[in-house]
Amino acid sequence: MDNELLRFAQLAVTVARRVAPTPSRFATPTYAPASLFALLLLRERLRLTYRGLEDLLRLSDQLRRLLGLRAVPDHATVWRFARRHAGPDLLDAALNETVRRARGGTERASQIALDSTGLFLAHTSRYFEWRAKRHRGQRGWLKWAFAMWVAPQILLAQRVRPGPCGDFTDLPPLASAAASRMPFEQLLADAGYDSEANHRHCREGLGVDSLIPAKKRRSARVVATTPLRQEMVRRLGKPDVEADRVAYRQRWKVETVMSVVKRCHGEALTAKLDPTQRVQALLRGLTYNLQRLVRLGAPA
């Protein structure tokens, strides 16, 4: 199959069939839950509205057959499925399935990287907001944080919460979730995740090395006073340890992934309600993983 969109749809419905809710044996659903879940992923991949997705399905017989649809679902059907079933648990299970497919026979990753970015909450244009004086300031965005397996650039875990907020509290849940899916040897993160507690969580809790630059706090001369943060000054400061500096440069790949997601899917969330905005942000991470698997040639 040479068409990248069709390969994405095939992989999406394959993953969806493994994690989508199973209908009751007494129910006779017109559309399989896996097909509707795959439609949500396809909608996010193409940046369509629900009505635009319905129009696309009417135009493509091959796409309908690939998704297991005997008829075109109404746009409201897909919307209702998203509201009732596409929650964080389902999306987390689907992300786990994409990681399993990316792992293959790999037992341990050498590095993972953490980072976060903001996603605007707007379904109108910025020009309209400016003319209508509807600036929401710093409260008008969600913070999307994730842990990425550096080598294949696959997301291992993700988290969404309101911004603005500090990065350092995201490290324990993200690192723990990533380790449960893919054991790793080293964690890379920028100075926003710097704290002695985070280093201890990596070293003592997960048994992995951590490379997080120590940033100055109150003193202009003393950067770090605790043992593990002082170790970061020795390893990543000046003069640094060349091997650690080379390893830390791999962290920039996570910046590339954020750029790819925003370039392909936009920097604003089109959903209007808080729960659906969070789900849409998580859907983008899952959609990115599926698209990345397609690019890596993973079989459906």
Kindly report, residue by residue over 95-106, the tens digit of the pLDDT: 999 999 999 888
Judged on CB neighbours under 10 Å (0-12, 13-18, 19+), 273 is exposed
Arithmetic mean of pLDDT, 186-196: 95
pTM of the model: 0.91
| CA dihedral for 159, 162, 167, 173, sign (positive or negative) | negative
pLDDT of residue 123: 62
Where residue 225 falls among pLDDT bands split at 50, 70, 90? confident
The rounded percent of the chain whose pLDDT value lies above 90 is 72
Arithmetic mean of pLDDT, 251-255: 95
pLDDT of residue 217: 74
Q: Indicate whether 212 pLDDT > 60.
A: yes
Q: Indicate whether 157 pLDDT > 60.
A: yes
DSSP secondary structure, 7-73, as one string? HHHHHHHHHHHHHSPPPPTT---SS-HHHHHHHHHHHHHHT--HHHHHHHHHH-HHHHHHTT-SSPP
CB contact at 8 A, 164 and 138: yes
Arithmetic mean of pLDDT, 240-244: 92
Spell out the residues 6+ positions from residue 299 whose beta carbon is closer than 8 angstroms to its own.
none
| Alpha-carbon dihedral angle through residues 94, 100, 103, 108, given to the nearest 10 degrees | 100
Residue among 88, 84, 38 at smallest CA distance from 63 = 38
Where residue 138 falls among pLDDT bands split at 50, 70, 90? very low
Q: Indicate whether 219 pLDDT > 70.
A: no
CATH number for region 106-280: 3.30.420
Arithmetic mean of pLDDT, 261-270: 90
pLDDT of residue 128: 62
How do residues 33-47 score in pLDDT, each as one tens digit? Answer: 999 999 999 999 999
- Most distant CA pair in the chain: distance in Å? 71
C-alpha distances out from residue 78 to 62, 90, 256, Å: 19, 15, 32
Domain ranges of the chain: 4-84, 106-280
Per the prediction, the chain carries an average pLDDT of 90
- Three-state DSSP state, 157: strand
Where residue 152 falls among pLDDT bands split at 50, 70, 90? very high
How do residues 48-78 score in pLDDT, each as one tens digit? Answer: 999 999 999 999 999 999 999 999 999 999 9
Q: How many other CB atoms sit within 10 Å of the CB of residue 7?
A: 21
